[in-house]
Chain A
Amino acid sequence: LAKTTQPISMDSYEGQEVNITCSHNNIATNDYITWYQQFPSQGPRFIIQGYKTKVTNEVASLFIPADRKSSTLSLPRVSLSDTAVYYCLVRPGGYNKLIFGAGTRLAVHP
């Protein structure tokens, strides 16, 4: 499984756009990039998944360049409730075990 590297922590303010970049240099051809969000005292929650280019849903956008060695999770106009830990994971298609890295602790300030 490809190793991921992401910032340990980030700070932002309400209303700003937040971009969290994840590096996965050893990503394989059939790997997907998945992001999870975890609030304190809760289990992780799926945010978004992509293979290449751009994926957007009601929560976030995921940008994946052509070489797929990195990806960027974009959270538009964050609020205090977006304060959480965000995990970037790489997993092969059809492979269901999720191996978590350290994650990025995002703090949103008023």
Chain B
Amino acid sequence: SAVISQKPSRDICQRGTSLTIQCQVDSQVTMMFWYRQQPGQSLTLIATANQGSEATYESGFVIDKFPISRPNLTFSTLTVSNMSPEDSSIYLCSVVGGAGGGNEQYFGPGTRLTVT
């Protein structure tokens, strides 16, 4: 299993600013993902955070807007840049594996972002 923590748990930000969300896992994992969940909606995959290389973005998401870092096998950050009210969402970190291996996917508690 894997225990994931995210910081901050929530934030209210002004439009035009940027917010960096941190994801910390309690064990080394090979794969980390970032998802967005808009109010009342399902989850949308933003990108795969690759350790030691650039993230792989899904259609509709770009690095300039959502830069991602993954400096090691237990940590990643997602930055939401130049925010607008449309970026108000819950952002979730997800990992595959964790202690004991396996291919089950685990999710963090999410970061609730409100842009005013």
A binds B: yes
Do A44 and B31 have beta carbons less than 8 Å apart?
A: no
Q: If A41-B110, A96-B31, A96-B96 touch, does A46 touch B45 (CB 8 Å cutoff)?
A: no
Interface string of B12-49 (1 = CB under 8 A from A): 00000000000000000001010100000011110010
A87 nearest in chain B by CB position: B42
- Give chain B residues whose Cβ lies under 8 Å from the Cβ of A98: 33, 43, 45, 94, 105
Within 8 A of B (CB), among A69-93: 87
> Are B42 and A43 in contact (CB-based, < 8 A)?
no
Q: Residue-by-residue, is B90-106 near A (CB-CB < 8 Å gives 1, otherwise 0)?
A: 00101010000001111
- B105 lies within 8 A of A46 (CB): yes
B107 and A43 form a contact (CB under 8 A): yes
Cβ distance A68 to chain B, nearest Cβ, rounded Å = 19
Say which residue of A94, A97, A100, A102 sits within 8 Å of B48 (CB atoms): A97
CA–CA, A19 and B105, complex, Å: 24
Inter-chain pairs besides A44-B43, A96-B96, A97-B45, 14 sampled, C-beta below 8 Å = A42-B109, A42-B110, A43-B108, A43-B109, A43-B110, A44-B107, A45-B107, A94-B103, A96-B31, A96-B105, A97-B48, A100-B35, A100-B42, A101-B42
Q: Which residues on A are within 8 Å of B, measured CB to CB?
A: 41-46, 87, 94, 96-103
Which residues in B have some Cβ–Cβ distance to A below 8 Å? 4, 31, 33, 35, 42-45, 48, 92, 94, 96, 103-110, 112
